[in-house]
């Protein structure tokens, strides 16, 4: 079935006040299709702001041509910073084909259980277990973490308006462009260095907590985690007025040094100024001194298990996660924040190595597999040279979603009446064990990403 998936700053459709999305040509837009006989369409939700499409020529196509209005020209398109591909209740694909009785992808899956694959159907109770996304981040997203299943159930029961489901949300981000993010706590010695070099940071944490962290260096991992939690909690629970004062002092000091021609990258001066410009006076600006700063190259990934603090700062990525929309936030956001829950739930285990490496397939020389230590999802990357006229997608015993990032192909399958043309932004929903053949429409390299559940 042919679908258009939800886009926007989140399921509610708001990108967040002051948050800029990135856009591309409206053209035919993003599409999600199943290899079957019935066309359909999915709902879209806008986020971001209006701007000429040509301004970001390399970015992702907008989901739909914008409606005409006196204020905008025909050369402009809706901006989105998220593309959702899945059946989560807050972004379930809508089927518009009158010949299909089901109105959403979730309803269709519920009545066509074999498409999931037998193991997936049994383990996940007839539900699609993952949510696939494309993110295009121009303004930093929140300092956040995702709960494990036990905490997710508790939060959903207590505050369903903020935690909309009872599922956990481990996730993986694979860079499409250079992609910058914060991920997990730094080694303690790095944090201690920042406490020395950034007195404003030290002031907010306090001498007692800072001393405790320094003394924990010679102890066991439990005492180190306790000291790290104390420091982070002191920072995040600081009085707003004091945070603004100290942040303004730091911004002024860095700005003066930069104006004088001095390099301030030892304390991430440029990044601090950038975050402060986006979120003036926000406590999350100081999180860069606690969390690892990663810059992923295209194809590199980070995996975020439950309770790992993180934030996406800039760039485009493919993201896959368990089918959930539960996020606990504490900074760099206009959305609901829950500082006590975040400080209590986090994993305070310092680690420098946060890159997640794919494995090369033994069956397919063009296939790379990102297989995280959770059962809910696996991500595959396929890099097919333009010299290959036809590429056969590996059949798996799982429903899957295939995304075209680069290239133009025609998809054929035994269950489709006619071939399906796909180009950048095209998406296929593929049933379990279904065979799909892609014929290259032009002799140029092909880049595909696929989400599935390998049990």
At 282, list the tokens: 């926000």
Element (H, E) at 211: helix 207-215
Element (H, E) at 273: helix 269-278
Q: Provide the sign of the torsion angle of the four alpha carbons 152, 154, 156, 160, taken in this order.
A: negative
What is the C-alpha separation between 450 and 389, in angstroms, rounded? 20
Tell me how far CA of residue 333 lies from CA of 9, 64, 151, 282, 287, in angstroms. Answer: 12, 27, 22, 8, 13
Tell me how far CA of residue 287 lies from CA of 245, 252, 303, 305, in angstroms. Answer: 16, 18, 19, 19
Other Cβ atoms within 10 Å of 345 Cβ, number: 18
Identify whether 90 is a catalytic site residue: no
Tell me how far CA of residue 164 lies from CA of 9, 23, 91, 236, in angstroms. Answer: 16, 28, 12, 24
- Picking from 134, 124, 149, the residue whose alpha carbon sits closest to that of residue 453 is 124
At 346, list the tokens: 């986090």
The answer to whether 453 touches 398, Cβ cutoff 8 Å, is: yes
Where does residue 48 rank: exposed (0-12), middle (13-18), buried (19+ CB within 10 A)?
buried
The answer to whether 114 touches 169, Cβ cutoff 8 Å, is: no
What is the C-alpha separation between 309 and 370, in angstroms, rounded? 21
Considering the candidates 41, 329, 354, 450, report the single residue annotated as catalytic. Answer: 329
Q: What is the residue whose two structure tokens read 């995040």?
A: 236
Determine the 3-state secondary structure of 90 from DSSP: coil
Query: Could you please report the per-residue DSSP string of 175-209?
Result: ESS-EEEEEEEPPHHHHHHHHHH-HHHHHHH-HHH
Active-site residues, by number, are 329
């Amino acid at each position: 079935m042919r679908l258009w998936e939800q886009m926007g700053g989140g399921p509610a459709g708001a990108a967040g006040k002051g948050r800029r999305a990135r856009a591309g040509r409206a053209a035919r837009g993003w599409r999600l299709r199943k290899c079957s006989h019935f066309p359909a369409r999915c709902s879209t939700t806008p986020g971001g702001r209006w701007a000429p499409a040509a301004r970001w020529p390399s970015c992702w196509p907008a989901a739909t041509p914008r409606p005409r209005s006196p204020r905008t020209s025909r050369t402009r398109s809706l901006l989105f910073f998220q593309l959702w591909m899945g059946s989560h209740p807050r972004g379930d694909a809508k089927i518009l084909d009158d010949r299909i009785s089901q109105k959403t992808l979730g309803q269709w899956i519920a009545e066509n259980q074999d498409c999931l694959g037998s193991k997936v159907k049994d383990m996940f109770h007839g539900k699609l277990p993952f949510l696939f996304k494309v993110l295009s981040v121009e303004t930093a997203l929140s300092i956040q973490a995702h709960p494990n299943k036990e905490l997710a159930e508790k939060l959903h029961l207590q505050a369903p308006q903020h935690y909309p489901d009872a599922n956990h949300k481990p996730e993986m981000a694979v860079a499409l462009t250079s992609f910058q993010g914060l991920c997990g706590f730094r080694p303690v010695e790095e944090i201690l260095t920042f406490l020395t070099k950034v007195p404003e940071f030290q002031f907010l944490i306090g001498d007692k907590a800072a001393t405790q962290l320094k003394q924990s260096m010679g102890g066991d991992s439990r005492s180190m985690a306790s000291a790290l939690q104390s420091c982070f909690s002191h920072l995040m629970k600081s009085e707003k007025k004091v945070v603004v004062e100290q942040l303004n002092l730091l911004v002024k000091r860095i700005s003066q040094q930069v104006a004088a021609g001095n390099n301030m990258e030892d304390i991430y001066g440029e990044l601090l100024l950038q975050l402060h410009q986006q979120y003036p006076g926000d406590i999350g600006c100081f999180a860069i001194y606690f969390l690892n700063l990663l810059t992923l190259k295209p194809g590199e990934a980070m995996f975020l298990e439950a309770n790992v603090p993180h934030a996406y700062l800039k760039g485009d990525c493919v993201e896959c996660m368990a089918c959930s929309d539960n996020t606990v936030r504490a900074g760099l956001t206009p959305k609901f924040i829950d500082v006590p829950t975040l400080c209590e739930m986090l994993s305070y285990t310092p680690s420098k190595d946060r890159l997640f490496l794919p494995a090369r397939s033994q069956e397919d020389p063009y296939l790379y597999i990102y297989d995280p230590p959770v059962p809910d999802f696996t991500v595959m990357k396929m890099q097919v040279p333009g010299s290959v006229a036809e590429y056969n997608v590996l059949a798996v015993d799982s429903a899957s979603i295939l995304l075209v990032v680069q290239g133009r192909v025609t998809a054929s399958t035994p269950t489709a009446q006619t071939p399906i043309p796909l180009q950048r932004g095209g998406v296929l929903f593929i049933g379990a064990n279904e065979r799909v053949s892609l014929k290259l429409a032009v002799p140029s390299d092909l880049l595909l990403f696929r989400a599935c559940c390998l049990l």
